[in-house]
Amino acid sequence: MPAPELKAWTSASLGNELYAHTGKKWFVEDIPYKVKGKSSNKHVQLICPDCNKKFSSSIRSLFAGSGCPACKDKVLYSKRKQINLRLDPEYTKKLSEIVEYWSLRGEFEFMDFNANQADLKSDVSFSKFIMESAIKALHAHLRNQERIDAIATWIHEEKEDDAECPEVMTLCYEYATQEWGEEEAALFFGTLWPLALSREEEENAIKNVDPELLYQKKLLDAFNEKANKAKHSQSPSTKE
Ligand SMILES: [Zn+2]
């Protein structure tokens, strides 16, 4: 069974099961409030399906894949991912030059992150540093995209005719405060608001399509996905 769409569990009909993006089913002990999106900082009590231990997690961390703290330590090491890259000679040479220069200088900054001595030790440690810095930066960008998505969803739910009327903005700010906490809402909302307005407008263009047609399209997409999967895994043992 596919994980229900986000909307299904963020609404009041949340029930007591929660699917994070991993497709894993988490049992929720209590839902004391209405959760309005996966960027939510709200904490829920969860029961780990693997070890049965209870733990508390924010919706956001659950979706970020941090999962059960008891199981996390057990798999932490094996979860380190080895990435094998073969750089072309041109890049190998450039990399060596960069590392040589900055290791002599003893300091290096990339995307607002400072390298330490260990990062500047070799081409490999340096590559790890720039890759992790880039991932941190991209992940911060992702968080902001999720915040924009969240506000755009609230706008869509609350606006009647005019998305830009002050009441809608007040309501959305209220949701942001509930979901992210006061500090985060105060820090981000003003900058995100115009972006969320245009995001909502963009998505509304799609939503205006006849739901019947969208449903037919959805079935077709699912059919295509299934056909592609079958094509890629044509082993008799994996047949359902
Ligand atoms: Zn566990």
Helices (H), the chain: 6-10, 59-63, 69-75, 89-105, 123-158, 166-180, 182-207, 211-232
Q: How far is the CA of 74 from the centre of ligand 1 (A)?
A: 9
Q: How far is the CA of 136 from the centre of ligand 1 (A)?
A: 26
pTM: 0.59
What pLDDT digit, counting tens, does each position of 154-174 carry?
998 888 877 778 889 999 999
Q: How far is the CA of 2 from the centre of ligand 1 (A)?
A: 22
Q: How far is the CA of 46 from the centre of ligand 1 (A)?
A: 10
Residues with CB under 5 Å of ion ligand 1 are 48, 50-51, 68, 70-71
What pLDDT digit, counting tens, does each position of 69-123 carry?
887 766 555 567 788 889 999 999 999 999 999 999 999 999 999 999 999 999 9
The b-or-e profile of 16-28 (16+ CB within 10 A means b, else e) is eebbbeeebebeb
Q: How far is the CA of 220 from the centre of ligand 1 (A)?
A: 37
Q: How far is the CA of 21 from the centre of ligand 1 (A)?
A: 17
Give, as one character, the DSSP assignment of residue 13. Answer: G
